[in-house]
Structure 1
């Protein structure tokens, strides 16, 4: 029993005329007749009879028609679902982010995504860079986004840098170094710090002072949360190195100051991590495109 045979049978009963049914289903009358006869032969019973008002279903035909309507309705739904999935209107996507983005950029991106694609289900895993790389490799997540650490070429991971944060030394507005104006590397070495816990950030931070023959300053706190480090800077006398765009509003409000000094870590890279040669679903491609597009407006806002 084929789907097209059921459509031909339904058309014949609906129009009560084989010629009209053939026209509506874009087939010749002889072709439609052969299709229905083939179905009758398969079932071993007559499905149609000619009555005074035209073609009518037999008792067997009525039974087949009841099921045919259900089958064709389900087929139509399946086609709609496949097209919706292909266009990423529904379905699922699972991705990871580094923790510093749990309260920055990603929530806004997901809110906009939900407005545009309410049928799309998203699972977000928060973890460190190294752990996310392992999740991508094991295919437990589709891709990951966040601060980029060190990755070996042999890891089978493709890194796509989609933005580079310009980082500055940040302090509370009432910090002594903020009031002093220009500060030296020696001033930075004597200060206490709250730093992001990324591998690349920590290495660059230490090398900055070692290369100048200075002791690496104490870090009273390390965290993988930008929000926590940012709040620590506002509420205490610690320094930190943060992307300007993250604290742009705090600078405008006069709560945080970017110090006039050399910056131990001038840039942090942010990007996407994929499996090398891996195939991405349309849903994953859609979300990835949203991440790529999210960079430009923020950079323009900071520049303004």
Structure 2
């Protein structure tokens, strides 16, 4: 049973005449009659009594009519709902981000999307890179801003945008290094370290920086919250290596690192180079 057959059946039932019904659905009378006969054959019942003057629905026709009306109405509503989704009038967008992402102004981007498309519901999730990868693979997220290291992306994920951020050391204004503008990793070795512990990304990139330099660090604090890390540094409890945009906003003394400067890589990751979600495509247009 096809929607077009139901549409033809309803037209005949409402017009009570094959010729007028054929005109209303822009078909020839013979094509309309063939469509109705095919529906009758599929149902195993006659739907109309055909007389020389009129066409009247049979008991089977009268039974089918309200169902056909409802199916056609629901089909029209489904088409309209999909059209609204594809136009950006409605929809959902689930975005993930690591805590330390500052390469783009994410709150501003989400606000722009909301102003332009208020019918799109946006959900934001903050998590570690590994957790965001998992959420992308299981389609819990449409897009995610993640921090990368030397390892490749998990299978099935692609980077749509990449960003680089310089890494710098930060210390409290009264720290012994507060007068130093630049140093190498060995120059930081005598001091206790405060580590941002968030797995793949910043943590592994900083670890690799000191391993390559052959420098062993004395990590006395390990925290998973960047604001807490900055407070610990601000109170003179150690030195930390963090992205320069975060360091700049913190008001702490920044120390450039050589050789380099070293940097970390971030990416906007998705399951497909061309996302099927209209909401995701509209968000990408803002970047």
Tell me if TM exceeds 0.5.
yes
More helix, by proportion: 1
Structural mapping, 1:71-82, within 5 Å: 71-82=71-82
Alignment map for 1:1-304 (pairs within 5 Å): 1-41=1-41, 42-48=43-49, 55-83=55-83, 97-101=97-101, 116=117, 118=119, 124=125, 126-129=127-130, 145-151=145-151, 156=155, 160=159, 162-178=162-178, 180=179, 182=181, 184-185=183-184, 188-197=188-197, 198-208=203-213, 210=214, 216-250=216-250, 255-259=251-255, 262=258, 266-272=262-268, 282-283=276-277, 287=280, 290=283, 294=287
Distance in 1 between residues matched to 2:223 and 2:110, nearest whole Å: 24
Unaligned runs of 5+ in 2: 198-202
Tell me by how many angstroms 1:91 deviates.
Answer: 6.9
Q: TM-score, normalised by structure 2?
A: 0.70
Task: Report the alpha carbon displacement of residue 172 of structure 1 after superposing the two structures with TM.
Answer: 3.6
Structure 1 pair 85–238 and aligned structure 2 pair: CA distance change class (3 A): same
Corresponding residue SS for 1:268: strand
Shift of the alpha carbon at 1:261? 5.6
Q: When the two structures are superposed, what TM-score results if normalisation uses the length of structure 1? A: 0.67
What is the Cα deviation at residue 138 of structure 1? 7.9
Quote the residue 2:200 is aligned against: none
Give the Cα–Cα distance (whole angstroms) in 1 for the partners of residues 155 and 47 of structure 2. Answer: 62
Q: Compute the displacement of 1:203 (Å).
A: 1.6
> Alignment RMSD, CA only?
4.3
SS in 2 for 1:259: strand
Specify every segment of 5 or more residues in structure 1 that has no aligned partner in the other structure, as ranges. 295-304
Deviates further, 117-126 or 70-79? 117-126
Q: Aligned pairs, how many?
A: 277
Shift of 1:270: 0.6
CA contact (8 A) 1:49 1:58 kept: no
